[in-house]
Amino acid sequence: MIEDAAKKTIKILDQNGIVLNKNERNHIEVVDFGLNQLEKQGLQIIVYENNDRYCAKELVLFSNQTCPEHSHPNVGEEEGKMETFRCRAGKVWLYLEGESSERIQAKIPKGSEDYYTVFHEIELNPGDQFTIPPDTLHWFQAGEEGAIISEFSSTSRDEFDIFTDPSIQRV
């Protein structure tokens, strides 16, 4: 499953003209959050850089794939991760704290409805971007064709992320 998802990720990036070097191709992180539902709730990540000042990643979502609701809290004296998503291909529905949209376009994964609580919808199409403030609950889902998102953020510390679903294992 993981190897197939990594191959599928490379194919999607290649089709969209996003070139990965050999090391990046060999280090695609396939994340199923410990839920064993990769096609529904999962994410594929290529980390270009993650240091003590900033982080740059490529996020690949398959058709209708969802990254579950979470936040990036403060870590000690340091403010939580601030991240900018820039849609490169496909369509992404981003949900975060704020006034709920009347009707959302995403489909909440069956059986996980209790763990999706924020519904202020931002639609991102190629060339669109949005910055998520630190310590803000959010989740996102690709449209039918899948999506590629470039993420630019402060340092990523995945081990401190807080997920609404207590059964999620991120690291």
pLDDT tens digits for 26-51?
999 999 999 999 999 999 999 999 99
In a domain, 169, yes or no: no
What six digits make up the tokens of 166?
Answer: 């207590």
pTM for this prediction: 0.96
- pLDDT-based confidence at residue 1 (cuts at 50, 70, 90): confident
In a domain, 168, yes or no: no
Q: Please report the pLDDT score of residue 78 as a whole number.
A: 92
| First-residue to last-residue Cα distance in the chain | 18
For residue 23, what is the enclosing H or E element?
helix 22-26
In a domain, 37, yes or no: yes
In a domain, 47, yes or no: yes
Residues 63/9, Cβ–Cβ less than 8 Å: no
Report the alpha-carbon distance of residue 60 to residue 5 in Å, rounded. Answer: 10
Question: In CATH, what number is assigned to the domain containing residue 14?
Answer: 2.60.120.10
Helix (H, G, I), strand (E, B) or coil at 89: strand
In a domain, 20, yes or no: yes
In a domain, 170, yes or no: no
Residues 92-135 pLDDT 10s: 999 999 999 999 999 999 999 999 999 999 999 999 999 999 99
In a domain, 51, yes or no: yes
In a domain, 48, yes or no: yes
Report the alpha-carbon distance of residue 56 to residue 86 in Å, rounded. Answer: 11
Question: Where in the sequence is the domain holding 88, given as residue range(s)?
Answer: 2-163
Number of domains in the chain: 1
